Structures are given as C-alpha cells and as structure tokens.
Amino acid sequence: MSTDINNLDVVVTGLGATTPLGGDVASTWSALLAGHSGISAIEEEWAADLPVRIAGRLKVEPGEVLDRVQARRMDRCEQIALIAAREAWADAGSPGVDPERLAVVIGTGTGGALTMLGQDDVLESSGVRRVSPHTVPMLMANGPAAWVSIELGARGGAHTPVSACASGAEAIALGLDLIRLGRADVVVAGGTEACICPLPLAGFAQAKAHSTRNDAPQQASRPFDVDRDGFVIGEGAVVVVLERASFAAARSARAHAALAGAGVTSDAHHITAAHPEGQIRAMRLALASAGLSPLAVDHIHAHATSTPKGDLTEAESITEAIGTHPAVTATKSMTGHLFGAAGAMGALSAILSLRDGVIPATLNLDSLDPRVKLDVVTGEPRQGELTAALTNSFGFGGHNASLVFTRVP
C-alpha cells in the first residue's frame, strides 16, 4: 500500500454486496458497467391484483449461500446483511483488530418487515402456538447489525440508523465519525433492505410513488428522464469496511478509496416532500468535512429514484451546491430503489468508479428532462481518471446524507 494513505483519515479496505444485479461485488459491478437491469415482473399469485407487479429482486437467493439452520432464524434483511458483511470482511483481509475497537453500523429502512407481516398472518390464521419463537430477533431493526457484530466479534458498538432511504449512507457517515472521534479503528458499515411484499407495494402505489410500468419492468426505472413515473422497489445489502488510515497502513492493507467526508441534515419540512435547502446543506457539509471545494468533485452518484418531483429537486440542489461540471450517474435505473441499502449501494458505485476510472451509464435515459442541467452519463460508461466523488441519499422524513470519497494513489 502507498504510504500516502497516512495523510488520510479513513480508508475503505473491504467491499461486500448482494443485489438485484449479482450475489457479490464483482458481479454487481460488472452488470452495472454492462447496463443490465435487475428489475423483473413479480409472477407470484399474491401480486396478481396489485397495481404494482415489478421489483428488483436479489440475483442470488440467500438460502444458496447461508447455512440452512442459521438462515431460518434470520429475517431476509438480516441474511443478506450477513452475506455482504462476510464478503467485505474477507475483502479487507479479515483485519486483526481489538474487538473493543471494532464497531458495526448497519442501516435499514424497515428492518424485518417480512417477518412481522408473515408472523402476523400466522397469528391470525393459526394462533399463538404457531408463532415462531425467533420472531422478535428477526423483526427488530437492529437485527442486521447485531448478527454482523456477533459474526465478527465486534464489541465496539453495534448501531442501526433508521432514516428511510438515507439509512445506508448515514451508517457510513456514523462509521466515519466513530473513527475520527477515536472510538474505533475499524467499522463495518452499510445498509440492508428486503421488503418486497404486498403491503409496501400497495402503499407506494397508493402514494403514487412507484412506477406502474408492469408491462416493461426493465424500462420502468428511468431517473431524470422526461417520462419517469416513479421508483421501482428493490432489495439488497451493501457493506464496506472502514479503517483508520494509519491502522490500515500498519498492516499493509489495500485501500479501494478514502472516505473523506460526510454531511447529514434534516429538512424539518414535510414527512414525504423533500426541501432543496436540506439537500444543499448536506452536500456542502460533506465537502467541508472533506476539505474540498465544489470544483474538486469529478463525479456524483445521484439519489435519483425516478420520481417526477424528487429527481428535479435533487438536480436543482446539485446545481446549486456543486455545479453542473461533475459527471452524474443514477444506478437505481438498474437496481431499483434499495431503500435502507440505497446509500451504501451509491457508495459502492462511487468507490469503484474512483478505483477503476469508469462511471456506469444511467439506464433508460432516453430523453433528459430539459429542466435538468446536469451532465448525466448515458449510453456507454464514461472512462477517465477521477479524483473525488460525492454520493447523495435522501429519505422520507426529510433525511439527507451526502458522502465524499477520494481516490487513493
């Protein structure tokens, strides 16, 4: 490893993922660069009468990876968080760290929603004696962080930001804080979500937030496109290993990128409608945290969920806070919206873009909304050396989180 990282605060040494595009980081990244879509029709009978019958489902089922007995005691969101964490930990070289200096931060939007809804059905149909004794550990939002901490023996804290679609990014921001404040040397951070079932689909459809392109699933998510009509629900987990740069250098670890800064704000405005000022402040705080000017940012991974209002608000916020010079991508066009894992997914894409010098193109952007003044990458991936990348994550409730990553020589 280059000794240059000694001049940094925090580096990313491990990456792990399981997404609608692939069961690991390599396959997910390859699919992103190839412009593949992970969105498909929901064929099960339970979706037949729903107004929304499309989703971004996992490419690889957790049951194909985990021990069967262990998997039965975990909600789907816990299963995939553990899968992603194992890959990230192995990728980082399984750091030899004091357990009391190792922390876990895994964000989620809904936690064990599948367990809660499923066990409620069991209670109603079959009575209390048929309810699983594992129900509470499976439905609790802190379950993913708890399972990962148990797996790794992390005793420096197991935290769970629950900030809707900003949860995964907030988890990484908290990891940065824990290291900078001297409370940990290594933090395993990221996000997880698995809630593809009738109630969320019906609720989002009623709110007019979800795309209803049931006849064209792979064309449904179209960020910044003039014909966008809503997001597409997705599931997945992404986890990164963050290390104090000096700690990583001492063990000659490889760094994918540096986590240079983070900004977290709240709108205090509306439960679902975003306010641009909160987004602008998050980006500016992230840049200040990184010690960078807006002109230093080469690339932005936009939150860009494909909603008519949301995409436009973010585009205007980016223009105000950063400018129109960075190359922008929106990978939800391929993965769908991973909610609590979305911010971590954006971080993964930005980190790999910095490392490999290539930005995935935004899928389905056939006609850029003329009100969007950004340089959005379309068609083919864009090649070129990058120095700094910013990612955005915004969630219902007015949660805003921006992260800044920089290239490690």
Q: Does 325 participate in catalysis according to the annotation?
A: no
- Residue 75 burial (CB < 10 Å; 0-12/13-18/19+)? buried
Q: How many H helices and E strands in the chain?
A: 13, 15
Sign of CA dihedral 271, 105, 75, 347: positive
Amino acid at position 363, single letter: L
Ramachandran quadrant class, 153 (left: phi over 0; alpha: psi -120 to 50; beta: rest): left
Is residue 292 within a helix (H) or strand (E), and if so which, with residue range?
A: none
Out of 36, 256, 275, 337, pick the active-site residue: 337
- d(CA 167, CA 190) in angstroms, rounded, equals 8
CA-CA-CA-CA torsion for 262, 267, 271, 275, nearest 10 degrees? -100
Residue type, 278: G
The Cα 352–Cα 407 span in angstroms is 10
- Concerning whether 399 is annotated as a catalytic residue, the answer is no
The percent helix, strand, coil of the chain (3-state, each to 5) is 40, 20, 40
**Longest CA span, the chain:** 62
From 36, 299, 303, 399, the catalytic residue: 303
Measuring CA to CA, how many Å separate 395 from each of 52, 104, 118? 21, 22, 26
**Integer angstrom CA distances of residue 33 from 39, 331, 357, 359, 382:** 16, 10, 12, 8, 10
Cα atoms found within 13 Å of the Cα of residue 231, Cβ hemisphere only: 27
Identify whether 337 is a catalytic site residue. Answer: yes
Of the residues 77, 165, 195, 197, only one is catalytic, namely 165
Closest to 95 measured CA to CA, from 257, 239, 240, 247: 247
d(CA 342, CA 348): 10
Whole-number Å distance between alpha carbons of 123 and 262? 43
Q: Give whole-number Cα distances, 379 to 212, 327, 345, 363, in Å.
A: 24, 13, 21, 8
The Cα–Cα gap between 183 and 8 comes to: 17
Residues tagged active-site: 165, 303, 337
